[in-house]
């Protein structure tokens, strides 16, 4: 039996965590097509706003680094970039 503790490889305030959260949440929202044209526009805006709010309010680490990572994740989503985070 294996035991997995969430966040073991990335600490809760690691910028990479915020990068992946923003990019992958946007990917998930983009895959959800219900709700028509308005939802396809407002859903990613809401997802990004929630990720920015999390970066601003989460304890630990540099707020600037968390916001930068969130922005990079959003940009990579817009570019269609998947896979590992860039160095």
Question: Phi/psi at 28 (nearest 5 deg)?
Answer: -65, -45
Output the pTM of the full model: 0.84
Tokens at 67, concatenated: 């916001």
Tokens at 81, concatenated: 């970039």
Question: What pLDDT digit, counting tens, does each position of 24-68 carry?
Answer: 999 998 877 777 888 888 999 999 999 999 999 999 999 999 999
Residues, the chain: 87
**pLDDT higher than threshold 60 for residue 7:** no
Count other Cβ atoms within 10 Å, centred on residue 30.
Answer: 14
C-alpha span between 41 and 23 (Å, rounded): 16
Domain boundary assignment for the chain = 15-79
Count other Cβ atoms within 10 Å, centred on residue 42.
Answer: 12
């Amino acid at each position: 039996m294996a035991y997995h503790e969430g966040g073991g490889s990335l600490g809760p305030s690691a910028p990479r965590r915020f990068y992946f959260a923003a990019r992958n949440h946007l990917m998930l929202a983009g895959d959800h097509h219900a709700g028509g044209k308005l939802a396809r526009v407002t859903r990613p805006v809401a997802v990004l706003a929630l990720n920015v709010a999390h970066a601003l309010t989460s304890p630990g680490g540099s707020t600037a680094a968390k916001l930068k990572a969130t922005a990079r994740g959003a940009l990579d989503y817009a570019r269609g970039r998947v896979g590992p985070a860039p160095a």
